Amino acid sequence: MTFNILISDPLSEEGIKPLRDAENVSITVETKLTPEELLDCIDQYDALLVRSQTQVTKEVLEKGTRLKVVGRAGVGVDNIDLDAATEHGVIVVNAPDGNTNSAAEHTIAMLMSLARNIPQAHYAIKQHRWDRKSYVGVELKGKTFGIIGLGRIGAEVAYRAKGQRLNVIAFDPYLTEEKAEKMGIQYATLDEVLEKADFITVHTPLLKQTKHLINKEAFAKMKTGVQIINCARGGIIDEEALYDAIVQKKVAGAALDVFEEEPIKNFKLIELPEVIATPHLGASTVEAQENVAIDVSHDVINILNGGVAKNPVNLPSLPAEVMKRIEPYFNLSEKLGTFIAHTTKEVIEEVSIFYSGDLTKLDVSPLTRNTVKGLLKRYLGDHVNDVNATYFANKKGITINEQKTTSSKGFTNLLTVEVKTKSGSSRVSGTLLNGLGTRIVKVDAYSVDVVPTGHLVLVRHKDQPGAIGRVGTLLAQFDVNIATMQVGRSDIGGDAIMMLTVDRQIEEKVLKQLKEVHDIHDLMTIDL
């Protein structure tokens, strides 16, 4: 059988060599198709290879009745409708490792250029100006280099920075002191990185939690004369705050490869002489372009021939009878994972998912992956999915346990997620109630009945008269409406919790005042 493959975006010829070498493949390269032309021809192909240009929409996937796989020669899959792909049984693969080296090297190149004023000096000499005094730089040796985000690229940057004899300190939600020690770097909190580093580079995904992570408050914590690098994602650094910090001489310089708006339209920041910039070139090397295409080409060939993909992005189709029985629990499992991620402040070392009741008779491994996905997405972003969640967990050193028990605590089915850290553990349990949908029914030792959706507030407090009233009164003062409230306690006058559902996100200034309320031990917001 011959498989037809359409390549609709420009790819490295060396990168698609595995496809050309395959005996049972016919390749069509059409890189200037309009959306309408793509829709007209996609039903002729078994596989589609793209970069970022082609939009693989729901309509494309519906028309592509022969499609078995879509390959994205790159890291992101923003141009592919993953839900539609899964619905239509199309496996999506990408190349998460192909550009790691290029991005890490670009970061180091920007670091060196920043420290020695190379772009500015180059421009001056091009203008026939011999000006040595204006471009005196600093040595890297002995300086403190702070890395925020120690994933694939961040870890490669750390390795190279050590070669420059920098003192490397790093923060990552999943970095432990033991892992840092093995890497030969120093474990630090986010604030410690901000306060101690002479150079700071960011390597996190752009999430709700990392949007403007480096903001006015962060700059205030930094050393005067700090220098900033961003080769990760535009938006992690608040560009207005960076502009002010440079003008006020708090920040001595910045090297930027990514921007909040691309292509750049507002050049105010870039026009500062202390700023050097490149137009999102982190992965723009011949080798990276070849590597991502090679990785995807191999996966496409494997899938077409009935093999297993190395880098699947979405969940392959499950047998219909299995999906029908476990599908109602997918939403619950992800919500429980997200909930426990919000309530855990330390590095997670182990995750256990307990299934009881009728769930013990089913293949629950997809639910386990979905739970882990919900947990990790809080830190790693939407590129974590059902298929790669356990892979990322393993990479972060998190042990995943799946257990079945006959004890269902009176529920037809019960799903419990427990996470362990160095200092202890925490649990959350949920179930499906006939006709009522998903419920969180237990948080640690406290019984509750909470719909896992919307804006939640978890308050840990001392069981004393007036505690609940003080919280409600304060929220009312700030026009925050409480939709539901659940309370639980260990014993009279002992520890207790409140679970509130509110109509909108609570502002930071309100949270600060809530935390100061008498008898409150801890408070956290949870968005589900």
By annotation, the residues acting in catalysis are: 233, 262, 280
Query: What would you report as the CA-atom Rg of the chain, rounded to the nearest whole angstrom?
Result: 26
Cα–Cα distances in angstroms (integers) from residue 357 to residues 133, 366, 507, in the given order: 76, 17, 40
Q: What are phi and psi of 339, to 5 degrees?
A: -60, -50
Q: Which residue, 221, 87, 101, 226, is CA-closest to 152? A: 101
Q: Is 270 exposed, middle or buried (0-12, 13-18, 19+ CB in 10 A)?
A: middle
Close Cβ partners of 183 (under 8 Å, ≥ 6 residues apart) = 155, 158, 159
379, 341 Cβ separation under 8 angstroms: yes
| Cα–Cα distance for residue pair 357/109, rounded to 1 Å | 57
- End-to-end Cα spacing for the chain: 47
Cα 310 versus chain centre, distance? 20
| Cα–Cα distance for residue pair 223/196, rounded to 1 Å | 7
If one counts every other C-beta atom within 10 angstroms of the C-beta of residue 74, the result is 24
Question: At 442, which helix (H) or strand (E)?
Answer: strand 437-443
Q: What one-character DSSP code corresponds to residue 360?
A: G
3 state SS of 92? strand
Close Cβ partners of 101 (under 8 Å, ≥ 6 residues apart) = 156, 287, 288
Residue 189 pairs with which residues in a beta bridge?
Answer: none
Sequence letter at residue 253: G
Sequence letter at residue 175: L
Q: Which residue, 200, 252, 205, is CA-closest to 229? A: 200
| Cα–Cα distance for residue pair 381/374, rounded to 1 Å | 10
187, 177 Cβ separation under 8 angstroms: yes
Alpha helices in 164-236 (DSSP H): 177-183, 190-196, 216-221
